[in-house]
Amino acid sequence: MKRAFIVAPNIGYSFTGGGGVKVALYMAQTLLEHGLKVHLIALTGWNVERINKIHGANLAKFLKEGRLMLNYCFGSRSDLKIPFPIAVKLVSIYVRQLVREYSPDLIIFHDDVPKLNERIFKYVSKTVLYSHFPYAARIYFNIVDAVEVGLERYQGYKTRLYYDSLKKLIYFKDIPKDIELVANSTVTKTFMEVTWKRPVKILYPPIAFQFKPVNKPKDNSIVLVGGQPNKRVGDAVKALAELKSTRRPIPKLYVIAHHFTPWYKDWLISLTQNFGLYHYVYFMEHLPEYELLDMYTSAKIVLSTAHFEPFGMSIAEGMLYRAVPIVYKGNLSGPWIDVIDKGRYGIGFKLITELAEIIDYVIRAGEDELIQLQGRAFMGSLRFSLDSFQRGFVELVKDVL
């Protein structure tokens, strides 16, 4: 039986929450359905029951059959706190050990490849890097996320130290030629090609359709997924404040995250209270997949306010359930470039006042106009179907299937 390793996103840190993990799990499921034995490799991660619940995966039967293995170096610990460069070094050591032990036919790394003794690659038939956005590019271009608050936390000595350390721990400027490079989006592809001066394929992340009553009446509500400062949730709160100040209807805003950065959540709560919007803004954490899909089904709008977002899976998911996408319109906005195809399937904004106007327009839209907006969104989402992803993924790894 052929064997595949899937190393977790963030260079193997954990199989827990986040869109990158969901993509990795769909890869695992596809390989398992093609008869391979699959190892999920990380320093830590959730058990299969929790993975299935949070991500909507279906891996339990493969674990029971002995074809899925969870290789978590430190087990299912939720309190793992290791400085990131040290974590990357540990992942490198752990992967080398497992490669020597199992000689896999396929290894899929996510985001970046930790430096390994290059003789290790001789044990492997095929190696793929699927990047949601590489740390190598962040270092090379000195990229700091466009956070709305707390920038000093990301520009201090700790970040510089981490970046200097990572240069020695990942394939920074030179990456082995045998590693096939794949990006999740146009933004990621562009940076990967400039960083490594190699052609890069795009394989968009998948969204899985689960049957929901898509004709269910829509509430005057907005879903925004993300709990970190780079998601710029405060811009959405300020847009609601703009509506309030001009005495227009205020929709409810549901901010959903696997995990909120604690100080950022405190800042958002304070901002919400200062604007008198505490009855309109709700923060929700650790939602199971089915509850998140219910939120999309009920919402009129799915929103992305991030200025730097390589893809934007939550936008594509919301569109599938006929939520109208409103996204930041920028050159580093994957939701704008790829997901809504620069306005073909949704609406873009630049300024907070413009965002407020667009929200008001969608909330007040008549039935026929709303159906048209929802129909465009739904059609756009079909480009990211699980079937489409699996076909592209199988084509990518067909020589080891």
One domain, residues 122 and 183: yes
- What stretches of 117-259 show up as alpha helix (H) in DSSP? 135-140, 157-169, 186-196, 233-245
Mean pLDDT of 24-39: 97
* Whether the predicted pLDDT of 38 surpasses 70: yes
pLDDT at 215: 58
One domain, residues 172 and 259: no
Mean pLDDT of 92-121: 93
Confidence grade of residue 135 (pLDDT, cut at 50, 70, 90): very high
Instruction: Using alpha carbons, select from 121, 135, 134, 96 the residue that is nearest to residue 176.
Output: 121
Average pLDDT for the chain: 93
The rounded percent of the chain whose pLDDT value lies above 70 is 97
The vertex-366 CA angle with 363 and 370, nearest 5°, equals: 70
pLDDT at 210: 63
Query: Is residue 236 in some structural domain?
Result: yes
Tokens of 179: 């590693």
Instruction: Using alpha carbons, select from 3, 64, 9 the residue that is nearest to residue 38.
Output: 3
Q: What is the DSSP letter of 333?
A: B
Q: What is the DSSP letter of 116?
A: -
Query: Is residue 214 in some structural domain?
Result: no
Lowest mean pLDDT among 80-94, 134-148, 260-274, 275-289: 134-148
Q: Write the CATH number for 115.
A: 3.40.50.2000
pLDDT at 290: 87
Query: Is residue 379 in some structural domain?
Result: yes
One domain, residues 115 and 12: yes
One domain, residues 118 and 152: yes
pLDDT at 382: 95
Lowest mean pLDDT among 119-133, 236-250, 312-326, 369-383: 119-133
Mean pLDDT of 41-64: 93
Q: Are 125 and 147 in contact (CB under 8 A)?
A: no
Query: Is residue 392 in some structural domain?
Result: yes
> What does pTM read for this prediction?
0.93
One domain, residues 117 and 179: yes
Task: Name 41's bridge partners.
Answer: 7, 71
Question: Which residues have CB under 8 Å from 75's CB, separation 6+?
Answer: 44
Confidence grade of residue 242 (pLDDT, cut at 50, 70, 90): very high
One domain, residues 227 and 292: yes
pLDDT at 93: 96
One domain, residues 158 and 305: no
Lowest mean pLDDT among 147-156, 225-234, 245-254, 296-305: 147-156
pLDDT at 147: 84
One domain, residues 232 and 300: yes
Query: Is residue 372 in some structural domain?
Result: yes
* Whether the predicted pLDDT of 99 surpasses 90: yes
* Per-residue pLDDT tens digits for 182-221: 999 999 999 999 999 999 999 999 987 665 555 556 789 9
Q: What angle, rounded to 10 degrees, do the helices at 313-320 and 367-381 form?
A: 130
One domain, residues 303 and 331: yes
Query: Is residue 45 in some structural domain?
Result: yes
Label residue 195 exposed, middle or buried (CB < 10 Å: 0-12, 13-18, 19+).
buried
Query: Is residue 24 in some structural domain?
Result: yes
* Whether the predicted pLDDT of 76 surpasses 70: yes
One domain, residues 54 and 142: yes
Lowest mean pLDDT among 161-170, 189-198, 240-249, 324-333: 161-170
**Residues spanned by the domain of 295:** 219-384
Number of structural domains found in the chain? 2
* Per-residue pLDDT tens digits for 261-272: 999 999 999 999
The vertex-95 CA angle with 101 and 259, nearest 5°, equals: 135
Query: Is residue 328 in some structural domain?
Result: yes
* Per-residue pLDDT tens digits for 285-312: 988 888 999 999 999 999 999 999 999 9
Task: Name 109's bridge partners.
Answer: 129
One domain, residues 172 and 319: no
Tokens of 326: 């409103």
Mean pLDDT of 41-51: 95
pLDDT at 122: 80
One domain, residues 135 and 45: yes
